[in-house]
């Protein structure tokens, strides 16, 4: 394995983010604060607790997951799309670097930035509500696995996109709505039986539910199903990336 190549790409991607560090950190902190102000004032006064957990604390895992999904996709998609846009991707493909090393470097950098962002949001949330994490190792495992999985998904979007506007198409019109409808700010047990059944077909439900279980020991679906769904999504994205590099789809045209 060419560790020097992986380190070079990884450090380049991280340095690009460090140049806009203030914007990268200020935006999630402000957004998280607004969520607590809006949801705390509008909903928190009506729903004080959900399954014995204060509502403000209950929505923290959903907030982290919402930011993790969108930022992982954005970081990875922009990271690989920009070389396509400038034409430097052909230099990368002709260099003595394997496809696996390219994926590890780009996805690793995107996942690192997303995990740091998730921890920043957790620290911000702790200023508003008392947080407890009953299973910290499980929480970190879900955090890292979700960040890597959605970074792979973003990598695929970056290869697929033909313009900057397409980079935002799937995150804004598909991932964000699925997150809001996936129990990020409520328990799906609060829904009527029919809608609860429909919601179980939303894959995001399983990701958020497992992550919430690591905090409070409660979930809408079994934690085993949540872990299986996360690993399944990771494996699917990995298979698609392998197919793209094998066939050259969107790389050689």
pLDDT in 10s for each residue of the chain, 253 residues: 788 889 999 999 898 877 777 767 777 778 777 877 777 667 766 777 888 888 888 989 999 998 899 889 999 999 999 888 888 888 888 888 888 999 999 999 999 999 999 998 898 888 888 888 999 999 999 999 999 999 999 999 999 988 888 888 888 888 888 988 888 888 898 888 898 999 999 999 999 999 999 999 988 999 999 999 999 999 999 999 999 988 888 776 5
Distance between CA atoms of residues 32 and 184, nearest Å: 13
Task: Write down the pLDDT at residue 168.
Answer: 83
Which is nearest to 107 in space by CA: 246, 244, 241, 232?
A: 241
Distance between CA atoms of residues 185 and 36, nearest Å: 11
Task: Write down the pLDDT at residue 88.
Answer: 84
Distance between CA atoms of residues 245 and 238, nearest Å: 11
Task: Write down the pLDDT at residue 49.
Answer: 82
Distance between CA atoms of residues 29 and 13, nearest Å: 22
Does this model's pTM top 0.85? yes
Q: What letter would DSSP give residue 53?
A: E
Task: Write down the pLDDT at residue 253.
Answer: 58
Q: Which helix (H) or strand (E) covers residue 50, if one does?
A: strand 49-50
3-state secondary structure of 74: helix
Distance between CA atoms of residues 226 and 157, nearest Å: 24
């Amino acid at each position: 394995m060419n560790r020097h190549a992986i380190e070079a790409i990884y450090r380049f991607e991280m340095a690009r983010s460090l140049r806009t560090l203030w914007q990268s950190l200020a935006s999630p902190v402000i957004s998280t604060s607004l969520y607590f102000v809006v949801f705390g004032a509008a909903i928190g006064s009506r729903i004080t607790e959900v399954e014995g957990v204060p509502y403000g604390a209950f929505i923290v895992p959903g907030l982290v997951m919402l930011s993790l999904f969108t930022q992982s996709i954005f970081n990875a998609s922009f990271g690989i799309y920009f070389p396509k846009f400038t034409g430097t991707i052909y230099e990368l493909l002709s260099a003595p670097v394997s496809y696996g090393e390219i994926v590890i470097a780009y996805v690793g950098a995107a996942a690192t930035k997303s995990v740091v962002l998730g921890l920043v949001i957790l620290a911000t949330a702790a200023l508003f509500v008392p947080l407890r994490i009953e299973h910290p190792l499980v929480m970190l495992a879900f955090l890292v696995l979700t960040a890597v999985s959605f970074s792979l998904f973003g990598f695929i979007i970056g290869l697929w996109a033909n313009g900057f506007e397409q980079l935002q198409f799937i995150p804004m019109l598909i991932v964000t709505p699925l997150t809001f409808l996936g129990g990020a700010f409520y328990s799906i047990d609060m829904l009527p039986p029919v809608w609860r059944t429909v919601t179980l077909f939303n894959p995001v439900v399983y990701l958020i539910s497992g992550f919430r279980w690591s905090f409070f020991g409660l979930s809408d679906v079994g934690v085993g199903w949540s872990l299986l769904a996360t690993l399944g999504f990771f494996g699917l994205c990995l298979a698609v990336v392998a197919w793209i590099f094998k066939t050259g789809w969107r790389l050689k045209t």
